Amino acid sequence: MMDTDSRLVSLNLVYDYPVRWSRYVVLRDFVQNFYDSIGWQNWSTAFDYAVGDGFLTLTAQNVGFSYEWLVHIGASTKREDGDAYAGYFGEGFKMAALCAVRDYGWSVHIASRDWEIEVTHTDLQIEERVLKSLAYSLSERTEPARADTVLRLSSFHDHEVFESVRLGFFYPENPLFGEEIWRSENGAVYKRSRHVKPSLFPVTSHLEGSGMFFTGYQVRGSIPVPLVFCLHDHRDSDRDRRDYFRVDLIPLIAGLVMRLPAPSAARVLGELRCFWRSRRGRYSFESWWIVIENLVRRVAACSHTTKLWTEGHPYLLTVSKIQRREIVAANRRRQALAWLRTQDLPYRLVQDSFKSLGYPSLEDACRRAGGFTAHRLPRGEEIPRLKFLQHCVAVLFPELEERIPADVSVFDDNANPLWGLAVINRALRPYDKVRGFPVRYVLSEISLNAGLLHNGDFAEIFATYLHEVAHMFGRDESTTFSRALTYMIEAAIRERETFAGLQDEWLLLTVRD
Q: Which amino acid is at 498?
A: T
Q: What is the pLDDT of residue 290?
A: 93
Q: Kindly write down the DSSP assignment for every residue of 443-465, as one continuous string.
A: EEEEEEEHHHHHHS-HHHHHHHH
Q: How far apart are the C-alpha atoms of 181 and 192, rounded to whole Å?
A: 11
Query: What is the DSSP code (8-state) at residue 401?
Result: G
CATH top-level class of 375-512: alpha beta
Q: Is 138 helix (H, G, I), strand (E, B) or coil?
A: strand
Q: Is 483 helix (H, G, I), strand (E, B) or coil?
A: helix
Among candidate residues 88, 132, 90, 136, the one with its CA nearest the CA of residue 110: 136
Q: How far apart are the C-alpha atoms of 168 and 399, rounded to whole Å?
A: 70
Q: What is the pLDDT of residue 40?
A: 93
Q: What is the pLDDT of residue 85?
A: 44
Contact 333, 366 (CB under 8 A): no
Q: What separation, in Å, do the N-terminal and C-terminal C-alpha atoms of the chain show?
A: 122
Q: What is the pLDDT of residue 513?
A: 63
Q: Kindly write down the DSSP assignment for every residue of 406-454, as one continuous string.
A: S-EEEE--TT-S--EEEEEEEPPSSPPEETTEE--EEEEEEEEEHHHHH
pLDDT in single tens digits along all 513 residues of the chain: 455 678 898 888 899 999 999 999 999 999 998 998 899 999 999 999 999 999 999 999 999 888 887 876 555 555 445 444 444 334 688 899 999 999 999 999 999 999 999 999 998 888 888 889 999 999 988 777 889 999 999 999 999 999 999 999 999 999 999 999 999 999 999 999 999 999 889 999 889 999 999 999 999 999 999 999 999 998 765 555 567 888 889 999 999 999 999 999 999 999 999 999 976 666 565 689 999 999 999 999 999 999 999 999 999 999 998 876 776 788 788 888 888 988 999 999 999 999 999 999 999 999 898 888 777 888 999 999 999 999 999 999 999 988 988 878 888 765 555 688 888 888 887 788 888 899 999 998 898 988 888 888 899 999 999 999 999 999 887 899 999 999 999 988 899 999 999 999 999 888 766
Contact 331, 423 (CB under 8 A): yes
Query: Which helix (H) or strand (E) segment is 57 a member of?
Result: strand 55-60
Among candidate residues 199, 201, 213, 275, the one with its CA nearest the CA of residue 249: 213
Helix runs in 169-288, H state only: 246-257, 262-271
Show me where the domains of the chain are located: 4-166, 169-312, 314-372, 375-512
Q: How far apart are the C-alpha atoms of 30 and 239, rounded to whole Å?
A: 14
Q: What is the pLDDT of residue 135?
A: 92
Contact 157, 104 (CB under 8 A): no
Tell how strand 316-319 and strand 348-351 pair up: parallel
Q: What is the pLDDT of residue 281?
A: 60
Q: What does pTM read for this prediction? A: 0.76
Q: How far apart are the C-alpha atoms of 431 and 183, rounded to whole Å?
A: 60
Among candidate residues 37, 35, 45, the one with its CA nearest the CA of residue 166: 35
**What are the residues whose beta carbons fall under 8 Å from the beta carbon of 472, sequence distance 6 or more?**
400, 403, 424, 427, 439, 440, 441, 442, 443
